[in-house]
Structure 1
Amino acid sequence: MIVASRTLRLIKDNITTDVVIELGGPEPDECAWTCRYDIHWPDGRVSSFATGVDEVQALHLALQRIGFDPYRSPHHRAGHLAWEQAGDGYGFPVPKNARHLLIGSDITFEG
């Protein structure tokens, strides 16, 4: 079940394409919790997940993985990806070891 979504914009050659991110709610998985998510890139959907010891950790780790994925995309590296404003980041937390990748307002976000 999708509990939240965000739409980023891919802007290339004056054409804007939506990049939809969908976050599923935490689900029990044997002795842990799993939180799945999908990123609908123009060239196909990428599905992934994060697992935690409880619902909160699974959700937190999934948000961090979602936050990292756009930064490692070729669309970001080419400067074609945006959320609210081009060059201002994507509004998700990232793990501490990925903070050097951040741009714009994401730099000041301590999530």
Structure 2
Amino acid sequence: MIIAKRNLAVRLPSGDNQVEISIHAPELQDGVWACRYQIGWPNQNRASFAAGVDSIQALHLALQKIGMELYISPYHLSGDLRWEKTGDGYGFPVPKNGRDMLVGADKSFEG
């Protein structure tokens, strides 16, 4: 079951392209909690998950994984990815070792 979505945009030569991020409710699988998510990149849909000892840890780690995937993407590195406005971040947390990559409001709140 999808519990949350966010839409980002990528600027392409052909115009803006929507990047939908979907987060599923954590599920208990073989004694471990897993939280699945998808990022709908223009060239492919990226599906992954994060696992934790409980549902809150799984959800938190999934949010951090999404944040890192956004910040290391070629769309961020080229400056073509945005949420509300270009250069202001995406509203996802990142682990401590990724905070040097943050921009805009993400840097103010998470940095």
Partner SS, residue 88 of structure 1? coil
* Corresponding residue number in structure 2 for 1:43: 43
Amino acid at match of 1:7: N
List aligned pairs for 1:2-81, cutoff 5 A: 2-13=2-13, 15-81=15-81
Task: Name the CA distance, whole Å, in 1 between partners of 2:26 and 2:40.
Answer: 20
Amino acid at match of 2:79: G
- TM-score, structure 2 as length reference: 0.96
- Tell me, yes or no, if the aligned pair for 1:33 and 1:51 is still in contact at 8 Å: yes
Mind listing any 5+ residue stretches in structure 1 that lack a counterpart?
Answer: none
Task: Name the CA distance, whole Å, in 2 between partners of 1:7 and 1:16.
Answer: 12
Task: Name the CA distance, whole Å, in 2 between partners of 1:57 and 1:13.
Answer: 39
Task: Name the CA distance, whole Å, in 2 between partners of 1:78 and 1:56.
Answer: 33
Mind listing any 5+ residue stretches in structure 2 that lack a counterpart?
Answer: none
The share of aligned pairs that are identical, in percent, is: 52
Partner SS, residue 106 of structure 2? helix
Task: Name the CA distance, whole Å, in 1 between partners of 2:44 and 2:64.
Answer: 21
Report how far residue 14 of structure 1 moved. Answer: 6.5
- TM-score, structure 1 as length reference: 0.96
4+ residue stretches of structure 1 with deviation over 3 A?
none
Task: Name the CA distance, whole Å, in 1 between partners of 2:42 and 2:110.
Answer: 30
Task: Name the CA distance, whole Å, in 2 between partners of 1:64 and 1:12.
Answer: 26
* Corresponding residue number in structure 1 for 2:93: 93
Report how far residue 109 of structure 1 moved. Answer: 1.6
Amino acid at match of 1:12: L
